[in-house]
Amino acid sequence: MGQYQELRSLSQMGLVRGVPQPEAVDFLITCFGAEPEASRAVDLDIFDSARDSADPLPLLCLRCRISHAFETWLLVTYKRWREKTGIELGAMASYALDDDGELTIRSGPSERAPFTYAQIASLPAGLISPFSAEVLRSYDPALCGLPHWAKLKIQAHNELKAYFRQHGLLLISDWALLRNTSPTKVRQACEQHLRSGDTIEVLCALHRHYCDPYDFAKLKHKQKTGKASGWQPDLPFLTELAPAEDTFTTLDRLKAIAQAIRRFMTEKANQSLDQAAEAGYEAADLASLSSTTDNDSPSPQELKALIDVALQRAMDQLMPQVLASSGSNTNLYRCLWGGWAEGLKQRPLANRCGTSQGTVSKLLKPELQASAIATAAAVELKRHPAFASCGQSVEAAERLVTALRNHLLEPEQEGDVAPLRRWVQNHLSQS
Amino acid sequence: MTEPITPMEVLPMPAEAIELSVEQPWSSPRAMAVAALRQVLAAQPTALPMGPETAAEDEGRMLSLNRFALQLVTSGISADQIEVDAKPWEEQATAPQLLLAAQVDEENAVVAFGGVLTGPEFLALAHAAERNGDQLLLAAGVFKGGLQRLLTLVQLLEPAALPRLAFGGMGVNVQRQVVTIADWLGGQLDGALQQVFGAQWQPLTQGAFFSGDAAAAERDALALVAIPLGLDGDQLVCGQAAEGCIERFVLQMVATGADPALPDGLVLRLIAAMTGDLLPDGLVITARQGSHEQRQTANSSTHIELVFGGGAELIDVSLSYPGSSDLVLPPLQLPG
């Protein structure tokens, strides 16, 4: 079934499914003599019909069309991040695929009106429901194609942003991405990942002119709305950016650059993961920590005892606060730390505690706690002459903290339990 | 055929990112960074005083954290370059001791502290940094260690251990401060080479440092100074910044000569930090003495080297790598 006559919608079961719209089919056959293939020309024809008539059906066709664009965008994001973050397609879709195909729209506390272009254009400013109505009422065909506009709008959806943030993901708009990417990186990204008929020189020149007008327009947007998010380029902005070009072409070029940057960043992110896997874990080396070598310096056993005491004191001081600072998630927090202390990895931890891997990685940060404990212990150890050099040298300070942190997280011998895990086990068993 | 890359539509939140209220109308990225910093400091077991109490959000305002002068710079969260106001670094009196980078996502109200540079680390990078008026552009990746590194340094170090260093004393102008190679024989190492580039002087028993076919070339070796180098992504870094790199290598500078008190030659050699490893392909060392220029490019190489046979003219040495700013050493001088 085509994109103008099937609405991709979220079912009550939380699944995305296609809902045929027979009235949309009738409208298309009346207008086009057949069910047309999706294209920009057809989008524009139907959009003109919607603006010129009081009939809700042309808008319904466009609502269907948008829902396909939403679904594609959501699926790409979901497939990439579901494993790592535990995002759910149903939850994501609830923000965008909330259109049930009704031919009326809520126009007041208990009133409904025909779902026409005139009606949605007359509704007060602010996010309106369904989201497709918000996309369509703000759409200007001179700017870009309708599917792309749908993508731009979803990138600026504040509630969806908040959902992603809860799962450790950041929804960054193309506009911020373009602003924050250096000319050098734009060129590299375009050289490697450009999918456009334009030359790299043309695109780099456009990007060079982008930042100042963007900063100015963003500032105006903040002053007007009080928000940093939600800005979209308008015709004056695009005209100022490239006066000799039509605005549609300019936006298309900006989109091509942003996509090239995203591909470039994706490739780099994948390489970083590979490199991190190869690099492995930095070895703990408590034996190298002493800064004195004369005969009066403590023996390795004495140093070890000093370190153990300092670490124990720092754990006693810091960890109870960490384990207690759980707010409304006390049980979940205890479950996560308890599982971690037993040596469970992220996936089994998430299963045991009935949560997502994303939540595990967000709430449970033993490396961070280990660094804080190591620093606190190092502050105490620094008072001892054997460790005095860490007050005078960046390298010595960092070497000491790194070694202490690694010692907290790694067992000294095979079969041992790492000190931080052991502390958490003891603490949880007593409380 | 290469599999096409599906671009990331969302980005992973950096580890240790701090989430601020999305409801609050933040006046600027810096205001968000200051708020995030205060949030972290408030959660520390030990009180770490930060000032100024008011107006810390003002752009360009120097912060004081536990008696350390701290410059706070911000960028967008996906930025690959960070602008650093160079004005405070013009004079020793105003030069910060630490430089903290905060990457701010205004749209999501998230702040990620990329990390910290000490004064010497910053000055080493400033040499070759792109400049835009008073702003120096540094790669975002050169800031290391996140906020934890800042907390470690301000709690463990004595403030005097991080001197205020300015461009005039040791920064940009250091490129024109001549390094006298003869000083190496007595164990003296130019302060700028040591502090800015992390160079290490090593006593040399003639020829003992080298093995294999390199030994013959250095049978007249008199002194060795080594600069640790690394690739941080595509960025050439040196000194301490190189220690955390996966790709690490060393620039060895060997003073040579038949007279144990008078060097009359210089060998510049790049080798991998791990014996037998290959240097990164595309790494280039260039050295010029007067009109005589030598250049070597690593290509499946375990080492590359340049040899100068004497002359009182200054030897300008630079290292480059595709996509990186060049690393330019102060001019070196052999006795005439």
Q: Is the pLDDT of residue B176 over 70?
A: no
Q: What is the pLDDT of residue A156?
A: 86
pLDDT-wise least confident of A312-316, A404-408, B193-197? B193-197
pLDDT tens for each residue of B188-203? 776 667 767 888 887 6
Q: Indicate the residue type of A116.
A: T
- Higher local confidence (pLDDT), A86 or A312: A312
Q: Which long-range contacts (CB under 8 A, 24 or more apart) does B298-302 make?
A: B298/B270, B302/B271, B302/B272, B302/B276, B302/B277, B302/B278
Cα–Cα distance between B322 and B264 in angstroms, integer? 33
Cα–Cα distance between A164 and B11 in angstroms, integer? 10
Phi-psi region at A135: left, alpha or beta (left = phi > 0; alpha = psi -120 to 50) = alpha
∠ Cα A91 A95 A97 (to 5°): 95
What is the pTM (predicted TM-score) of this model? 0.73
The DSSP secondary-structure symbol of A345 reads -
Which residues in chain B are contacts of A382 at CB distance < 8 A? 156
Q: Is the pLDDT of residue B173 over 50?
A: no
- Residue A127 burial (CB < 10 Å; 0-12/13-18/19+)? exposed
Q: Assign B100 to helix, strand or coil.
A: strand
Residue A277: band (very low, low, confident or very high) from pLDDT cuts 50, 70, 90: very low
User: Is residue B27 a contact partner of residue B57, using CB atoms and an 8 Å limit?
Assistant: yes
Task: Write down how long chain A is.
Answer: 431
Yes or no, beta carbons of A266 and B152 under 8 Å apart:
no
Yes or no, beta carbons of B78 and A172 under 8 Å apart:
yes
**What per-residue string of b and e applies to B222-261 under the rule 16 or more CB within 10 Å gives b?**
bbbbbbbbbbbbbbbbbbbbbbbbebbbbbbbbbbbeeee
Pick from B20, B107, B200 the residue to mutate for testing the A interface (most A CBs within 10 Å). Answer: B107
Question: And the tokens for A318?
Answer: 């810091």
Q: Which long-range contacts (CB under 8 A, 24 or more apart) does A107-116 make?
A: A114/A54, A114/A56, A115/A56, A115/A59, A115/A60, A116/A50, A116/A53, A116/A54, A116/A55, A116/A56, A116/A59
- Higher local confidence (pLDDT), A185 or B176: A185
Q: Is the pLDDT of residue B206 over 50?
A: no
Other beta carbons within 10 angstroms of residue A77's beta carbon come to: 22
Q: Is the pLDDT of residue A397 over 80?
A: yes
Of all residues in chain A, the percent with pLDDT exceeding 70 is 92
Yes or no, beta carbons of B151 and A372 under 8 Å apart:
yes
Nearest CB among B22, B45, B80 relative to A317 is that of: B45
Which residues in chain B are contacts of A259 at CB distance < 8 A? 7
Q: What is the pLDDT of residue A99?
A: 94
Question: And the tokens for A236?
Answer: 């004056």
Alpha carbon dihedral A80, A85, A89, A90, in 10-degree steps, equals 180
Q: What is the mean pLDDT of residues A237-263?
A: 93
Cα–Cα distance between B300 and A345 in angstroms, integer? 39
Cα–Cα distance between A344 and A352 in angstroms, integer? 10
Q: What is the pLDDT of residue A185?
A: 92
Yes or no, beta carbons of B8 and A318 under 8 Å apart:
no
Q: Assign B320 to helix, strand or coil.
A: strand
Q: What is the pLDDT of residue B244?
A: 76
Cα–Cα distance between A368 and B311 in angstroms, integer? 54
pLDDT tens for each residue of B245-257? 889 999 999 998 8
Q: Indicate the residue type of B150.
A: L
